[in-house]
Amino acid sequence: MKTKKENIKENILHLRNEGIPFDADLFKDLRVNRSAVERRTATTGTRRSVKKEWQAAWLLRAISCIDLTTLAGDDTHGNVSRLCAKAIHPVRKDLLQAIGMADVNLHVGAVCVYHNLIPEAKEALKDSGIPIAAVSTGFPAGQISLEQKIKQIEQSVKSGASEIDIVISRRLVLTSDWKALYNEVSQYRKACGEAHMKAILATGELSTLTNVAKASMVCMMAGSDFIKTSTGMESVNATLPVSLVMLRAIREYNEMTGFKVGFKPAGGIRKAKEAISWLILMKEELGTDWMKTDLFRFGASGLLGDIERQLEHFLTGRYSAAYRHPMV
């Protein structure tokens, strides 16, 4: 007799994650050993090393996976336009020429802005092929009504966002109201329509890694195209232990359903060395398919500048000043 998981996988016909019916039996016994997770991730940056031209190649891959982000209270038309210009040309032309990549159309994975700045981003990114991601559902805290959240999503899609970063209601996780969380995220997914949805778990506010694992599974069951660690506004944002737990949940969901769900660490990732650690974790846990922009993104603003500095160091042997690689 086939198991419930085998029957689910046989019935999947769509490449995009359409979700599956809610079933608490699929995750109710899930438990995470924190000490084992921390031991596993403590050596991620030390067991493997990427040097010389291979490091440069990995850093160029990291650039293509960045959701270049500005979510500041003082955002203006001007700095959004400059951010979009950097998204289209993320590395100085002289550096790309020296590396032999001048003919490659290198750009970031997306530009992420608040809803009201979508028109400015759309104008600045015209004909670039770079998607606009908009934060929604009362980002970052999510403390508005469900009706308001759905309306925000619909307005963002109508304005031109093709990716929507939603925030879940953390209280539903903390009270283990998993069916309510599933219903909430399912409604967000429906409101997104053709736009891809990234579910932000705000892992720093979920108390336990077991909660992170269960929330990840429920959001994927509800149709999330990506699961994302953080808003970047919590006291603790993206960490390797949290990421490992989420990646293991993605692997389990893929094995169970056949759907590939993407992953986005966000918040506090500023160094090129950190970017490589995350890429290594992706490769080891999920394989090379998850090292591409359709299944992996960094939510970052300062990371790109440090990667550009590292590329210049690769070419010259010297570290340049940060002002040589301005973001906006």
Q: Locate the DSSP E strands across the chain.
A: 66-69, 110-113, 132-135, 163-167, 196-200, 226-228, 262-264, 298-300
Q: Which one of the listed residues 86, 198, 214, 228 is annotated catalytic? A: 228
Task: Establish whether 94 is a catalytic residue.
Answer: no
Tokens of 34: 């924190």
Q: Which one of the listed residues 165, 198, 214, 306 is annotated catalytic? A: 165
With CA atoms as reference, report the closest residue to 299 among 316, 274, 324.
274
Tell me the CA distances in angstroms from 244 to 33, 279, 294, 296, 316, one per residue in order. Answer: 12, 12, 19, 14, 35
SS (H, E, C) 250-280: HHHHHHHHCCCCEEECECCCCCHHHHHHHHH
Structural Rg of the chain based on CA atoms: 19
Task: Establish whether 51 is a catalytic residue.
Answer: no
Q: Which one of the listed residues 86, 198, 214, 264 is annotated catalytic? A: 264
Centroid of chain to Cα 176: 24
| Other C-beta atoms lying within 10 Å of the C-beta of residue 43 | 9
Task: Establish whether 165 is a catalytic residue.
Answer: yes
Catalytically annotated residues: 165, 228, 264
